[in-house]
Amino acid sequence: MIQSLAKRPMSIAKKEAMNDSSLGDMPAEDFRRYGHEIVDWIADYFEKIDELPVLAQIEPGDLKAHLPATPPEKGEPMEAILADVDRLIVPALTHWSHPSFFAYFATSTSAPGIFGEMLSAAFDVKSMLWRTSPASTELEEVALDWLRQMMGLDAGFSGLIYDTASVSSMHAIAAAREGVEMRIREEGMSGRKDLPLLRVYASDQAHSSIDKGIITLGLGQRSLRKIPSDSDFRMDPKALAAAIREDKANGILPFCVVATVGTTSTSSIDPVAAIAEISEQHKLWLHVDAAYAGPAAIVPELREILNGCDRADSLVLNPHKWLFTPFDLSVLYCRRMDLLRRAFALVPEYLRTPEQGKVRSGSDYGVQLGRRFRALKLWMIIRYFGREGLAARIREHCRLAQLFASWVEKSAEWEMMAPVPLALVCFRACPPLEDETEAVRAKRLDALNEAIMHGVNATGKAFLSHTKLNDKLTLRLSIGNIRTTERHVRRVWELLNEQLQSLI
Ligand code: PLP
């Protein structure tokens, strides 16, 4: 039976320790006072965030120039520290929590997530062995199984939390490589004549984290073969099959395919079922990068975005992107935890415990020993909003994206650049520019769209980013913040049109 903290009497030793103010942590009374002040401050921040410029309106070096170059010799009062947060830090923030943050992938923290982070910072758990972190270890398993059920993923997947999708995917590829049975863990890859070139496949739209994972694992960039995508930016399965056949004929050893559900540039969705078919034929590990789009599968009518993913060996999604979870928290679902464990488990004497072998130890499944207690915030978020609440918010983001896309489609001066399967709109201005050759017009349109983007961002009222599609500079509007409403989307449309009119 776990005793509640509130019911425990304060010990004499604790009372004495509280009286010795020269050592130890901040006195409990001060902690309480400033804690309340900070929570009030955060509540005000969210209430008034609309009035702040989304993109930091400072120049490089501005903040550093206002901070002392040397550390304080004596401790400073919290009042002074908090005043500097207001005066110096806030103006140097690009406000990711702003409802008009539409750049990259718009993401969002949330109140229950913030509370989870606060408690996790207080517990300061190093989740490495079950013994050092029973709550973290077991809550991680429970919360990730809830998430798996909400997404309608097969029960054969077991989940693990890492910090980012980049790290999750790197671990998935490491597990895939372990499955090649070439004793790479023991003997490495360098200086071996018996090792052919190992090959990983991903589309030309795959995120750069796949390239980086491959670099980190020592496979070398030449191990990654980029497969062309179709006119809707989805991997071409025929091209994949041909590439695998060609590689095999040339003595290369294919071992892994990475499909993306929700690519970074356009949120396109690779045909995972067809890719799974090919992967199975050639006995290749299939990893799905659903870092951005994965959470959308919680919405029943969007569940189909994961069609075919039950045939994957691993899948990553980022609650810190589109599940209202403060950064960072990435989830890797894997069917072959045995291979992940074989690739990374290493238990020195000082970490041996009696329950070893009977319980899961997070450190057996990755490069990190200590891991943050991230499951707490996810568990609190799922409980606070419930599946319906999470689905309703994601569904609304998709509605707003469709609404914005409908304005683009109706306008003669703007054009859509990619389909909108979720809540990302790729578009650009295309006003008539006469008396130009096609090449000059293309250059002018790129420059015009870049100027529009910088113009909108400079107002501080919204923040957009860009990509290149078919060599054309394309604006991206991503909707994913819990505070974004139709009013914010209408406002950015007005801002874009104002900029366009001022530039032509
Ligand atoms: N995969 C995709 C499809 C992404 O869009 C991103 C980031 O935007 C990542 C992976 C990398 O995510 P993280 O920052 O969690 O490593």
In this prediction, residue 9 has a pLDDT band, given cuts at 50, 70 and 90, of low
pLDDT digits (tens, 9 = 90+) for 178-207: 999 999 999 999 999 999 999 999 999 999
Distance 474 CA to ligand 1 centre (A): 19
**From residue 150, how far is each of 138, 146, 156, 242 by CA, in Å?**
19, 6, 15, 36
Alpha-helical segments (H) within 152-236: 165-178, 184-187, 208-216
| Prediction pTM value | 0.95
Alpha-helical segments (H) within 49-152: 62-65, 78-84, 111-123, 134-151
- Judge contact between 256 and 177, C-beta under 8 A: yes
CA distance 469 to 475: 10
pLDDT, average across residues 104-131: 97
Any bridge partners for residue 330, and if so which?
162
- Judge contact between 379 and 116, C-beta under 8 A: yes
Ligand 1 atom at minimal distance to the Cα of residue 168: 16
Distance 291 CA to ligand 1 centre (A): 6
CA distance 266 to 366: 31
The answer to whether residue 404 scores a pLDDT higher than 70 is yes
The answer to whether residue 6 scores a pLDDT higher than 60 is no
pLDDT at 15: 54
CA distance 107 to 313: 27
Residue of 207, 212, 325 with the most ligand 1 atoms within 8 Å of its CB, for mutation: 207
The answer to whether residue 8 scores a pLDDT higher than 70 is no
Ligand 1 atom at minimal distance to the Cα of residue 318: 15
What residues are in contact with ligand 1 under a 6 Å CB criterion?
105, 164-166, 207, 209, 260, 262-264, 289, 291-292, 318, 330
CA distance 159 to 382: 16
